[in-house]
Amino acid sequence: MTINGTIATSYSQEVDPTKDHIKINKKLISFKEQFIYIILHKPKGYLCTHNDPAGRPTVFDLLKMHNKKLFTIGRLDFNSSGLVILTNDGHFTQKISHPKSNIQKTYHVKINKILTTKDKERLQKGIILDGILCQAYHIKTLKTLQKNSWISLSIVSGRNHQIKRMLKELKIFVADIQRMKIGSLSFPTLKPGQYIYLQKKDIESRF
């Protein structure tokens, strides 16, 4: 056995199969990591993290697994619900998360008023958050109640509490947020807390 061209002299020698060239009888050994893709309907009351100092539940408690290599694409707040993707594919995560990919995330949002045409125009034009212009797309009213309403909108960037902060600039306050889609990927049959595994070809075809 050789490691990076040098004959291995110890059984305890550590190697990194993702970086080191390992040969047995002059034949290169290939190590291919198996990528995992999970779509989860995150319920309220769960964090998109592995551990919480306060002991609050996380999405990994729902999965009955704590694979440290898995991470979430599109974090949702503790009190928000909806679609979350979990994967160990770093390249795919970068593709989905980077604003330059222009992948829209669609949300249903309950607000404390009826959205006006002027409000929609302001959100479409964009609001500066942290020095970045943040815009909303495909804005429409889904349901009108006596003192509040449900709206649908899409965003590309994903700044911290972005939708709440954008609406707050218009003196509109959010009562509930549900993420419905990332790209063309949705979760129509999943109840809160349920999840399914997808193949790479199936999930990549949605973006």
CA angle, 35 as apex, 16 and 46 as ends, to 5°? 110
Do 191 and 94 belong to one domain? Answer: yes
pLDDT tens track for 151-206: 999 999 778 899 999 999 999 999 999 999 999 999 989 999 999 999 888 887 77
Do 57 and 118 belong to one domain? Answer: no
Do 113 and 80 belong to one domain? Answer: no
Q: Name the DSSP letter for residue 24.
A: E
pLDDT tens track for 61-105: 998 766 678 889 878 999 999 999 999 988 888 888 877 788 999
Do 73 and 166 belong to one domain? Answer: no
Instruction: Please state, for a pLDDT cut of 70, what percent of the chain lies above it.
Output: 92
Q: What is the CATH number for 148? A: 3.30.2350.10
The DSSP line for 113-124 is SPPPHHHHHHHH
Do 110 and 177 belong to one domain? Answer: yes
pLDDT tens track for 93-151: 888 887 778 899 999 999 999 999 999 999 999 999 999 999 999 999 999 988 899 99
Do 124 and 177 belong to one domain? Answer: yes
How many domains does the structure of the chain reveal? 3
Residue type, 69: K
Q: What is the CATH number for 83? A: 3.30.70.580
Do 20 and 63 belong to one domain? Answer: no
Do 40 and 98 belong to one domain? Answer: yes
| Integer Cα distance of 146 and 155 in angstroms | 27
Do 66 and 8 belong to one domain? Answer: no
19 — pLDDT class (breaks 50, 70, 90): low
Do 128 and 177 belong to one domain? Answer: yes
In this structure, are strands 137-144 and 149-155 parallel, antiparallel, or unpaired? antiparallel
Q: Name the DSSP letter for residue 12.
A: T
Q: Within 13 Å of residue 2, how many CA atoms lie on the same side as its CB?
A: 9
pTM: 0.81
Query: What pLDDT, on the 0 to 100 scale, is given for residue 12?
Result: 65
Q: What range defines the domain where residue 51 resides?
A: 33-102+187-207
